[in-house]
């Protein structure tokens, strides 16, 4: 019953995430106005807007104009549902679960916006920084993954500064912008939420994963070393891997 509830809630919030992914880059309200087809602009009826199921029943096409609906809508709802189930499975009904579910929703939205538009909106990173720091004052949270407020503050500042310094260094050496400040703010989010020990690991893993996906394009010469890539999704991947193995990684950092 609870797993089914987690799946349903995940689909619903995944549907809302899709609204944010489409509207935030276009400076549109995410709470005003009914959902509509991005091709014909027709408002979507409620029975065609059921998370997860409507995409399947409509075979990925708009009922009115017949144009294909991006598979991103299905993917976002599916990933959101799975993330809800995994978090509930690991932490049950708890504040930790609530916090990680909130983080997962924000991460999904950031992931797909940055992947498509190469931006990370402040409307997403600033609230996450605030939540990450405020929650660190709660002494009863899961201490395996969540830091105290001192570690959280150090992590947030460290996460932002290390990316800011990389940006500054690249600017001085190449006389052009490299990474964006959105990446620095996202790394600050990681630090505020999971402490300073999360920063080196997240940067290393995110850089490794980014390079892994970039190598085939570099070999085929579809991209070069100056081609812009969205780094936010790789930071998120690195953070998720860190959280998954937080206890082992902290032990390695602190005790060698």
Q: Is the pLDDT of residue 37 over 60?
A: yes
Q: How confident is the model at residue 250 (pLDDT cuts 50, 70, 90)?
A: low
Q: Is the pLDDT of residue 234 over 70?
A: yes
Please give the angle made by the CA atoms of 129, 19 and 50, to the nearest 5 degrees.
125
3-state helix, strand, coil in the chain (%, to 5): 70, 0, 30
pLDDT, one tens digit per residue, over 41-97 is: 788 887 778 887 888 888 888 888 878 888 899 999 999 999 999 999 999 999 999
Distance between CA atoms of 222 and 169, rounded to whole angstroms? 26
Pair 235, 190: CB distance under 8 Å: yes
- Closest of 5, 153, 32 to residue 92, by C-alpha: 5
Q: How confident is the model at residue 16 (pLDDT cuts 50, 70, 90)?
A: very high
- Closest of 99, 106, 191 to residue 141, by C-alpha: 99
pLDDT, one tens digit per residue, over 185-229 is: 999 999 999 999 899 999 999 989 888 887 776 666 666 555 678
């Amino acid at each position: 019953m609870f797993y089914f509830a987690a799946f349903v809630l995940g689909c619903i919030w995944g549907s809302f995430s899709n609204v944010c992914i489409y509207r935030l880059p276009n400076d549109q309200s995410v709470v005003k106005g009914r959902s509509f087809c991005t091709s014909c602009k027709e408002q979507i009826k409620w029975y065609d807007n059921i998370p997860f199921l409507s995409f399947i029943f409509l075979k990925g096409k708009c009922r009115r104009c017949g144009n294909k609906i991006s598979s991103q809508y299905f993917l976002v709802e599916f990933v959101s549902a799975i993330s809800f189930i995994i978090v509930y499975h690991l932490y049950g009904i708890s504040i930790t679960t609530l916090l990680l579910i909130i983080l997962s929703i924000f991460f999904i939205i950031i992931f797909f916006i940055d992947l498509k538009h190469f931006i990370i909106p402040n409307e997403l990173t600033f609230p996450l920084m605030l939540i990450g720091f405020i929650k660190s004052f709660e002494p009863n949270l899961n201490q395996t993954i969540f830091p105290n407020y001192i570690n959280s503050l150090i992590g947030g500042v460290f996460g932002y500064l290390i990316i800011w310094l990389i940006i500054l260094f690249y600017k001085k050496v190449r006389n052009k912008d490299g990474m964006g400040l959105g990446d620095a703010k996202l790394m600050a989010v990681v630090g505020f939420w999971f402490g300073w020990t999360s920063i080196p690991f997240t940067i290393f893993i995110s850089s490794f994963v980014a390079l892994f996906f970039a190598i085939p394009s570099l070999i085929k010469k579809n991209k070069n070393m100056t081609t812009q890539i969205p780094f936010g999704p790789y930071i998120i991947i690195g953070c998720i891997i860190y959280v998954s193995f937080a206890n082992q990684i902290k032990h390695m950092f602190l005790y060698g």
